[in-house]
Amino acid sequence: MMTLTQRKIEILQAFEKAQSIAFAPFVFQAVVAAKESGLLQALGESETALSIDALAQKTKLSQYAVTVLCDILAASEVIECDENHAYRLSRVGECLIYDRMTEVNFDFSDRVNYAPLKHTLEALKTGRAAGLKEYDANWQTIYPHLKDLPKDSRKAWFAFDHFHSDSAYQAALNILKTRPVRYFVDIGGNTGRFTKKALATWPESRACIVDLPEQIELMRQNPDLKSLQDRIDTVPINWLDPDAQPLIKEKVDLIWMSQFLDCFSRAEAVSILKRVKNLARQNGATVAILEPLVDHQRNRAATLSIACSSLYFSCLANGNSKFFSSEELQGIINESGLVVESVHEPIGVGHSLYICG
């Protein structure tokens, strides 16, 4: 039985957590302002705690502005105040400016999702990416328009996508590299970052990137792939057309999909995987699927990040997809008729690699 004191502590903790949710946008925008004005960086670079005056001088903000920010940042434990009313970064503040994963997640929230998230309920009720109208009222899904996003948003989108998948590519290739691969297909290959690493892993191999025509055009312009372009074929496709089936002229050894199936509803993902299975069967190819799974993360911070990121799919990407749980992904694979040979996890920051026959 809980004592009265324990019960009071529990209620106070719940109350505190509830207020941090009620005021989450205020805290978030205060951190945006503190990063953009250089306030957090000034604290990070200083060996001693800094006064309001010193921070005002360093950031060129008024004392009023610095005080408003410091009150919020101290209350939300981003900074700490000492007995002389001087401030230093807390561990949370250090994560916010020194940890790359926190940085890409933060910029993705700020520069890609912040305004669109206001349309969450509409998106969830209609199954449409209702937040996209913050960019352009005529856009149906985000993927053909990545190139049309404002520069800051585009940079944050690619940094988020690349950070999370890059960390897993090498680990996945270390598992796959003993297989003889002469020709592989990178479905949803985007700007070709996996393809580049895989071409280095199998130096005699060639690749085929299968993606929307807009992405293939971006990939062809990618300076990182300049010397590799003649080893890369492309097949433009829109998988949302239920009859679309990529025509690959070579014999395929490996079909790779990273952070791709999560761009589709369950029914669409099953339909795509059935078509992929046909391609795999015709060639005797292995299918490798890399996904972050919401219930297979290393810690609560990672689980929260993956669960929250699903709202990006609802509000911006397409209105009907999410990061899967292990049960959901396994169900999709089973329904497609593919058979899972092995599962490897955790891979990179928090991915799971499903190898299917």
Ligand X SMILES: C[S@@+](CC[C@H](N)C(=O)[O-])C[C@H]1O[C@@H](n2cnc3c(N)ncnc32)[C@H](O)[C@@H]1O
Residue among 232 and 237 whose Cβ is closer to ligand X = 237
Report which residue type is found at 329: L
Please answer whether residues 56 and 76 qualify as being in contact, where contact means their C-beta atoms are separated by less than 8 angstroms. no
Q: How far apart are CA 318 and CA 337, in angstroms?
A: 25
Q: How far apart are CA 157 and CA 104, in angstroms?
A: 9
To ligand X, the closest distance from the beta carbon of 290 in angstroms equals 7
Residue among 33 and 287 whose Cβ is closer to ligand X = 287
To ligand X, the closest distance from the beta carbon of 186 in angstroms equals 7
Q: Which residues bind ligand X (CB under 6 A)?
A: 143, 161, 165, 188-190, 211-212, 215, 237-240, 258-260, 263
To ligand X, the closest distance from the beta carbon of 167 in angstroms equals 11
Q: How far apart are CA 25 and CA 4, in angstroms?
A: 33
Helix (H) or strand (E) holding 255: strand 254-258
Residue among 114 and 158 whose Cβ is closer to ligand X = 158
Residue among 114 and 163 whose Cβ is closer to ligand X = 163
To ligand X, the closest distance from the beta carbon of 268 in angstroms equals 8
Please answer whether residues 160 and 136 qualify as being in contact, where contact means their C-beta atoms are separated by less than 8 angstroms. no
Q: What is the DSSP letter of 307?
A: H
**Residue 186 φ then ψ, to 5°:** -105, 100
To ligand X, the closest distance from the beta carbon of 240 in angstroms equals 4
Residue among 93 and 189 whose Cβ is closer to ligand X = 189
Q: How is residue 147 written in tokens?
A: 């190139």
Residue among 55 and 237 whose Cβ is closer to ligand X = 237
To ligand X, the closest distance from the beta carbon of 313 in angstroms equals 9
Q: How far apart are CA 287 and CA 134, in angstroms?
A: 37
To ligand X, the closest distance from the beta carbon of 343 in angstroms equals 18
Q: Specify the pairing of strand 286-292 against strand 351-356.
A: antiparallel
Q: How many CB atoms lie within 10 A of CB 220?
A: 14
Residue among 110 and 161 whose Cβ is closer to ligand X = 161
* Helix pair 326-336, 266-283: axis angle to 10 deg: 50
Its sign, for the CA torsion 350, 225, 240, 152, is positive
